[in-house]
A = this chain, B = another copy of it.
Amino acid sequence: MIYYIGVVGTFAFGISGALVAMNKRLDAFGVVIVAFVTSVGGGTLRDTLIEGRDVFWIDDPTYIYFIIGGAITAMVFQERLELLRKHLMLFDTIGLGLFTIAGVQVGLNYNLSYSICIILGVITGAFGGVSRDILVNEIPYIFHKEIYATISILGSAIFLVMHYFGFGDGLYQLIPISIIILLRLLVVSREITLPSLYTDLKRKKKTE
């Protein structure tokens, strides 16, 4: 199950990375490289953090073909760009759901504590998008646009509760994945954001 999650997530993030790169007017190889980094960035960081674990795509080049497939898919459908701009969010969300749960599962396989499993879930789900945004020179989207990390943490926690009660294997994993995807789609469509913590002191003083 975790293998198929990884492959589908790789493909979805490959499309998402390629769309961002095309919006930034990168050339074809730039598009493939940004798609690659978006796809494998999170899982690669997770695997280098866990001592003794091989980086997933180095042992199995299948992932690379799916990323290139995702990038080509995005390029072929570039004519429908405005349509795809909405799809960017969709593919990014599918990748987030799949990779978050894959990351938590890896942590469980190594018997790491629950708090570390949640962090590995967030890293696997979100770091690819963070790398993509750093590469195209923007403040990562995750930090200011939406309750992105919050949803990833919530999905990880639900999965860990399910795992604790023995419902963490196979198709059961589709439950937290679906919750993450649906919650993010809901949040984006309602334009819900967490409040910024910055208090504009100068304005406050003036009004006093």
Contacts and interface: CB of A to CB of B under 8 A. Distances in A.
Interface stretch (A2-10, A42-50, A96-104, A172-180): A42-50
Nearest to A131: B134
A139 B139 contact: no
Interface stretch (A25-33, A87-95, A159-167): A25-33
Interface in A127-160: 130, 134-140, 142-144, 147-150, 153
Contact of A137 (B44, B138, B149, B195): B138
A196 interface: yes
B139 A130 contact: no
B115 A147 contact: no
Contacts of A49: 44, 48, 55, 58
A105 to B, nearest CB: 16
A171 interface: no
Nearest to A205: B82
A81 interface: yes
Given A24-B139, A29-B149, A135-B143, 8 more contacts: A25-B196, A26-B196, A26-B197, A30-B143, A36-B119, A58-B116, A61-B113, A81-B198
CB-CB nearest 6 A-B residue pairs: A27-B194, A30-B143, A25-B196, A25-B198, A29-B149, A137-B139
